[in-house]
Amino acid sequence: MAHQGGCVPANAFDTPVDYESLKQLGSTMGSGGLIVMDEHTSMIDIAQFFMEFFRDESCGKCVPCRAGTVQLYQLLTKFKHHQATPADLAQLETLCEMVKYTSLCGLGQAAPNPVLSTLRHFRQEYLAAIAPSSPASSQA
């Protein structure tokens, strides 16, 4: 399942759709809309889709949201094209936390949630997207 608040795995399908239950999964209620996807859906593509929304909707007043959403989108593109390195994975996580905790409004604070939730529940997709030739790609 996915919504702008985050993505949760199939094994959490029976989770009640309430604030506390979704918060425990690293997600939020958002507008209450849910999208159910099958196992063939790339969660990196989904995270990038939501990041594109946040990037485009940023008002631009604060740097963490204005620049951070652009940088997150660019990092996700590297993963999508299997050009990412282990350092990109670390940077993705660090940047998500920075944007989440330093943005001025709710939009910027929520922007990293889809990335953070896919990193939490679908990390293997990110690890599999690290370029095979990158140093320590098998150790990430």
Nearest to 99 by CA among 73, 79, 124, 126: 73
What's the Cα-to-Cα distance from 6 to each of 40, 51, 83, 94, 134, rounded to whole Å?
18, 11, 24, 17, 29
Regions of the chain short of the pLDDT cut 50:
1-4, 140
Question: How big is the CA angle at 94 (ends 115 and 75), to the nearest 5 degrees?
Answer: 55
Buried b or exposed e, range 13-25, using 16+ CB within 10 angstroms = eeeeeeeeebeeb
d(CA 116, CA 78): 16
Res 68: pLDDT: 96
Q: What pTM, to 2 d.p., does this model score? A: 0.77
Domain 39-128 in this protein, CATH class: mainly alpha
Amino acid identity, position 45: D
Q: How many residues does the chain have?
A: 140
In 3D, which of 86, 7, 8 has the Cα closest to residue 48?
7
pLDDT single digits (tens) 19-46: 687 777 766 666 666 677 778 889 999 9
pLDDT at 33: 66
**pLDDT at position 3, please?**
36
Q: How far is CA 136 from CA 46, 83, 86, in A?
A: 26, 14, 7
